[in-house]
Amino acid sequence: MNQETVLQTLVVPVIAIAVAGVSRRRGWPVPLLLVLAGLVLSPLVPEYELNPELVLLVFLPPLLYSAAIDSSYLRLKAVRRPVGLLSIGLVLFTTLVIGWVTHLLIPGLPLAAAFALGAIVAPPDAVAAVAVARRLGLPRKVVTILVGESLFNDATALTAYRVAVAAAAGAGLTWLDAAGRFLYSAVGGVVVGVVLAWVLVRGLLLLRDALVENTIMLLIPFAVYLAAESVHVSGVIAVVIVGLYVGHRLPTAGFSTRILSDAVWRIVDFFLESIVFVLIGLQLWPIMNALEGENPWRLTGMALAVFAAAVLARIVWVVPSIYLPRILSRKIRSREPHPPSWQDTAIVSWAGMRGVVSLAAAFALPQGFPGRATLLYLTFVVVIGTLLIQGMSFPALIRRLKISNEQEIFADNLAEAAAQQAAVAAGLARLDELVAEGVADIHEDVVEQLRSRSERRGLTAWERLGGGTGIEGEETPSTVYRRLRREMLAAEREVLVRLRDGGRIDDEVLRRILQELDFEEATLERD
């Protein structure tokens, strides 16, 4: 690999991280700015055609795995009906709608090829929507539904895509064959995911080494995906199942494993998502070059029609899928006495931004596939159109509908305060038992320090509910404690660095002491 190739390979990550860093500092929507940066740079940098295997084997597994770890199995279980209707029902419905619209627009295009386009653009990529939703404070249930949809819809779309491509290639599939392939892929993915999740978690819990555990966890999404795909079942579903199970069991691991895991996956997410969104914009030039000789007005008209069909198909599906089951089922009405608000329904209907998986699937169409260049262009317009139009308007829509999660935040703080109080009581009771048993020569000052720290932790959660003196703008005791302790820690670090610079202590000693201070400061964020 020559220096020029290495330089070109580094350009995209460097630009992506720089744009993402500026966007985060300014509070701008990071995914959308990255896409715009890619569009601007596309004519200026060497032409780079997206490699489908790079997306499906390198980017998709760790991003899905990380999202699954960060999700809640219990919350997803509670919203399994709407998630299933979106990740399976909506994807198949969109595939059919886009397929028929494309077939009408391009009469010479085989119906199977048109359905392939439908499967390509069917799955929304909720990365941008969820990022905005969390920043602007959408209710947790809405965020969970969007996350759940994004975790599972790729599996449905990629399975439908493979069936459509095989049919277009003349495989002679019947509807029964297609349904059989779909069920085998989905059910097989679940089985592989459950088996590997059980084995991997048991192995991880035996290691008791945070560094080794997190190194293995970096490899898990790739290994699981390849294992599932090797037996021709859904690697996406398998990775999501394993991620959900690992995330559910992570609280039983050691504290150092959780601290390191959180840092590792934050970096992985930031790095991969930054590159992915820039790559979307960079596809402008390769796709336009493939369309030489085509009528631009005709292509634009077709692209706008497909884009409109993709947006409207989601709205047409979401509204009845939310309210119709409640009308038809008394069991659902009794289990969910409060129907979803129309504002939440509007948000879910508009959160249909497509992403890099759609582009990867389009580029994976074999050479010589009917209308390949046109299908690539239509896919690109849908992806860019939904990211920019829906993505840019998403924050304004949330503000316009006056949706917030303030009540949930208060309820969470109340529950946290009660839980902290119960946990502190259990800890103090255990301390009393140890003192009474005389298990060691415990100095009275040590016991008092332990009691004081536990009691302060219990009071902190109540203060978040508006405790303290009650005077507006006045700091609570725990806030004063954290502020003063941070100042003390900063002074301690300055002295330690001066001692190291003066040759009084070694770097190894400095790092060991600083690690202790860093862990204490980390606890101040939650104390």
Here the tokens at position 502 are 């003066």
Instruction: Answer for the pair 365, 378: CB distance below 8 angstroms, yes or no.
Output: no
pTM, full prediction? 0.85
Above 50 in pLDDT, residue 58? yes
* pLDDT tens digits, one per residue of 478-515: 677 777 778 878 888 888 888 888 888 888 778 878 87
**pLDDT at residue 458 in the model:** 67
Instruction: Answer for the pair 310, 94: CB distance below 8 angstroms, yes or no.
Output: yes
DSSP assignment of 199-259, as one string?
A: HHHHHHHHH--HHHHHHHHHHHHHHHHHHHHHTTS-HHHHHHHHHHHHHHHGGGS-HHHHH
How many whole angstroms separate alpha carbon 307 and alpha carbon 386?
A: 8
- CB neighbours of 314 closer than 8 A, spacing ≥ 6? 90, 94, 124, 349, 352
Q: Following CA atoms 478, 483, 488, 493 in sequence, which dihedral angle do they give, to the nearest 10 degrees?
A: 120
**pLDDT at residue 399 in the model:** 85
* pLDDT tens digits, one per residue of 334-374: 888 888 899 999 999 999 999 999 999 999 999 889 999 99
Q: Give how far Cα 176 sits from Cα of 165, 190, 476, Å.
A: 16, 21, 66
Instruction: Answer for the pair 503, 509: CB distance below 8 angstroms, yes or no.
Output: no
CA-based end-to-end distance of the chain: 51
How many whole angstroms separate alpha carbon 52 and alpha carbon 446?
A: 60
How many whole angstroms separate alpha carbon 120 and alpha carbon 94?
A: 10
* pLDDT tens digits, one per residue of 176-189: 887 888 899 999 99
How many whole angstroms separate alpha carbon 442 and alpha carbon 392?
A: 61
- CB neighbours of 440 closer than 8 A, spacing ≥ 6? 434
Instruction: Answer for the pair 221, 260: CB distance below 8 angstroms, yes or no.
Output: no
Confidence of residue 221 (pLDDT cuts 50, 70, 90): very high
Q: Give how far Cα 462 sits from Cα of 131, 410, 425, Å.
A: 29, 11, 15
